[in-house]
Amino acid sequence: DQQVKQNSPSLSVQEGRISILNCDYTNSMFDYFLWYKKYPAEGPTFLISISSIKDKNEDGRFTVFLNKSAKHLSLHIVPSQPGDSAVYFCAASASGQNFVFGPGTRLSVLP
Amino acid sequence: DTAVSQTPKYLVTQMGNDKSIKCEQNLGHDTMYWYKQDSKKFLKIMFSYNNKELIINETVPNRFSPKSPDKAHLNLHINSLELGDSAVYFCASSQRQGRLRDGYTFGSGTRLTVV
């Protein structure tokens, strides 16, 4: 039972353009969401978060949008840089419980 | 360096063996976790310890036994290894359960291969 889905296993984007990574969830009790970035042979590192009381959170080149009615969130990276090439995981939590992770999307930013 | 460190990074072993993976965090976090990244790349929680006390124990075979000698360490011992145990195992820590703003800090993973 996949409560957190990332339906695109991979995404390629040209350097300087916008990268949009999508995440869908099924559990309406989820109230906190994180994005993690993972390079090969390293652990995931925290990127950005959003609470269900917001619909947008921005941190530099990274913006996360939350659409609660659609149970959908997205991560926008503008402008994309080659160093952004990594696997991005979406994670969700309900009421302070442990996070449920999606399977990840591999982003390749082409120079 | 402040971090979550786990050893070994790679582990290749035969079926039936017993092995351990160690994890240490020097972040002063109260809660530690073990996650398994399966062949489909999902990160699934196995165990969670808060101040040396077991909080979460997901449906994991009892061949897997976590041990937390203190709140900075959470080791994972696996008995009678099976082929299906091959995966990447990540240790993680967080300030405390319920404090989610910063999420988890992950170790770099242990790639376990059972042959």
Which of B27, B49, B39 lies closest to B107 in space, CA to CA? B27
Q: What is the mean pLDDT of chain B?
A: 89
What local confidence, expressed as pLDDT, does residue A19 receive? 98
How far lies A9's CA from each of A21, A29, A63, A67, A96, in Å? Answer: 10, 25, 20, 21, 28
**At B6, is the pLDDT very low, low, confident or very high (cuts 50, 70, 90)?**
very high
Q: Which two tokens stand for residue A11?
A: 């995404």
Higher pLDDT, residue B57 or B81: B81
> Do A25 and A5 meet the contact criterion of CB atoms below 8 Å apart?
yes
Contacts with A, B 29-48, CB within 8 Å: 33, 35, 40-45, 48
Quick: pLDDT tens for B17-65: 999 999 999 999 888 999 999 877 888 889 888 887 887 777 788 899 9
Radius of gyration of chain B from its Cα atoms, rounded to whole angstroms: 13
Determine whether the interchain pair B100/A104 forms a contact, defined as Cβ–Cβ distance below 8 Å: no
From the first residue on, what is the mean pLDDT of each consecutive set of 10 residues in chain A (111 residues)? 90 97 96 94 92 95 97 98 96 85 95 90
Q: Is A60 left (phi over 0), alpha (psi -120 to 50) or beta?
A: left
Q: Among B4, B9, B103, select the one facing A46 at the smallest CB separation.
A: B103
Angle at B77 between CA B73 and CA B79, to 5 degrees: 175
> Do A3 and A27 meet the contact criterion of CB atoms below 8 Å apart?
yes
Q: Which residues, listed in sequence order, are joined to residue A37 by a DSSP beta bridge?
A: A45, A88
Q: Which two tokens stand for residue B43?
A: 């990160």
pLDDT exceeds 80 at position B97: no
Q: Which two tokens stand for residue B38?
A: 């399966």
User: Which amino acid is present at B8?
Assistant: P
Q: Among B41, B45, B90, select the one facing A43 at the smallest CB separation.
A: B90
CA torsion sign, B61 to A1 to A39 to A110? positive
